[in-house]
Amino acid sequence: MTMISHDSQVDTRSNGFRAKWAEVANRFETVTAQLADPDVLSQPSLLVSLTKERTELEPLAKRYHEYRALQEELAKTRRMAEDTSLDPELRQLAEEEVATLEQRCRTLEAEAKELLHPTEATDDRNTFIEIRAGAGGSEAALFAGDLLRMYIKYAERKGLHVEMVDAHETGLGGYKEVILLVEGKGAYGSFKHESGVHRVQRVPTTEASGRIHTSTVTVAVMPEVEEVEVQIDPKDLRIDTFCSSGAGGQSVNTTYSAVRITHIPTGIVVTCQDERSQLKNRNKAMRTLRSRIAELERAKQEASIAQQRRSQVGTGDRSEKIRTYNFPQNRVTDHRIGLTLHKLDRVLEGDLDELVSALKVAS
């Protein structure tokens, strides 16, 4: 089997992205020239069309020209940093300037990628993330806990607010199932590519012989839907209240604050016991229920159009692994785009930006 290096993968994707970026910049120059043509000025409809196009292209074109200028300056500064005939202090200053220019180039690339791949209407919605332990028993539950912490840290990096809607702990930091509500601008867009089967390969702490075990965790990501989008007849609901379990103080465990809502037509059951208030738990549970019903309807609609067009994002399709986390090699591989990063430790600390950006570009 031919192995493709991470650097080769990055170079291929980067070259394709930069080629698109250059095309936009060239088109901007063409449109600008056309707008100065007297023949265009005499055609109001064409003038309006080209003016609109130029306005849309301008942010990308400006960044591209700045990027090209920075690349030229970066090449000169690198030569200075590598010139052994120069004074050591001057070379050190050049090295520091190289780092600054490289960071600015990376920032411009990130901004351009966002502009080249505009957000969808649902990207700015709040989102529910459901994490469930799959094959692998207690080790799968422990990894579900690892993914939970990874997503919370990533959300914090993005300035998003995270609430735990429901959780079933197994002990030692493991979870059989956990549901998060992530709120804030871009919440769904930041997590929508996480739906699918996540596979982990590592030596369990309880394994005396040091054998590597493979376990799986499933993740479903759903945008929160507005109440007007899903009409729920109160007569179709069965609502039960019960005492919350787990830590939380005497009032949590002795009052009927936890809520379980069953949607009779679909059989969907939602529970929430995170809040001390029954009303708050009920409101959270209803938000989750609306999203699950909408998700079910979306899946039915897509299946009726064509089975092969069903996407993992939005349908909860978990038939294939999307990502592997290999602890012995400190490696994480996203199988959808063939990207391998040897920084699993950083990814689990919430450093998902490189993976998310690559997935957005590929989508």
Write b or e for each residue in 194-215: b if 16 or more Cβ atoms lie within 10 A of its Cβ, otherwise e: bbbbbbbebebeeeeeeeeeeb
pLDDT for 176-193, tens place per residue?
999 999 999 889 989 999
Average pLDDT over residues 64-88: 92
Residue with tokens 């209240």: 241
In order of 175, 220, 272, 297, the CA distances from 126 in angstroms are 23, 14, 17, 19
| Residue 65 pLDDT greater than 90, yes or no | yes
Structure tokens at 251: 């009032």
Smallest CA-to-CA distance from 174 within 131, 124, 207, 116 is with 131
* Residues found in the chain: 363
Architecture per CATH, 6-116: Up-down Bundle (1.20)
Band of residue 233 on the pLDDT scale cut at 50, 70, 90: confident
Split at pLDDT 50, 70, 90, the class of 250 is: very low
Distance separating alpha carbons of residues 59 and 309, to the nearest angstrom: 33
- Whether 251 shows a pLDDT value over 60: the answer reads no
Query: What's the confidence (pLDDT) of residue 249?
Result: 45
Pairing verdict, β 331-334 and 339-341 = antiparallel
Residue 103 has pLDDT above 90, yes or no: no
| 227, 230, 234, 239: CA torsion to nearest 10 | -80
Radius of gyration over every alpha carbon of the chain, rounded to an integer in angstroms:
25
Segment 215-229 mean pLDDT? 79
- Does the pLDDT of residue 253 top 90, yes or no? no
In which order are the strands placed within the sheet that holds 174-183? 161-171, 174-183, 127-133, 213-223, 196-202, 321-326, 331-334, 339-341
pLDDT winner (highest mean) among 6-15, 188-197, 289-298: 188-197
Q: Kindly list the domain boundaries of the chain, sorted by start residue.
A: 6-116, 127-226+308-362, 229-306
Which residues on neighbouring strands pair with residue 178, listed in sequence order?
131, 167
Q: Which CATH number fits domain 229-306: 3.30.160.20, 3.60.15.10, 2.40.30.10, 3.40.50.300?
A: 3.30.160.20
For a pLDDT cut of 70, what percent of the chain falls above it? 83
| Domain 127-226+308-362: CATH class, spelled out | alpha beta
The DSSP letter of residue 216 is E
- What pLDDT does 273 receive? 83
Give pLDDT tens digits for 33-55: 999 999 988 888 899 999 999 99
Alpha carbon 237 to its chain centroid, in Å, reads: 33
Per the CB < 8 A criterion, the answer to whether 201 and 213 are in contact is: yes
Contacts of 16 (CB under 8 A, 6+ apart): none
3 state SS of 334: strand
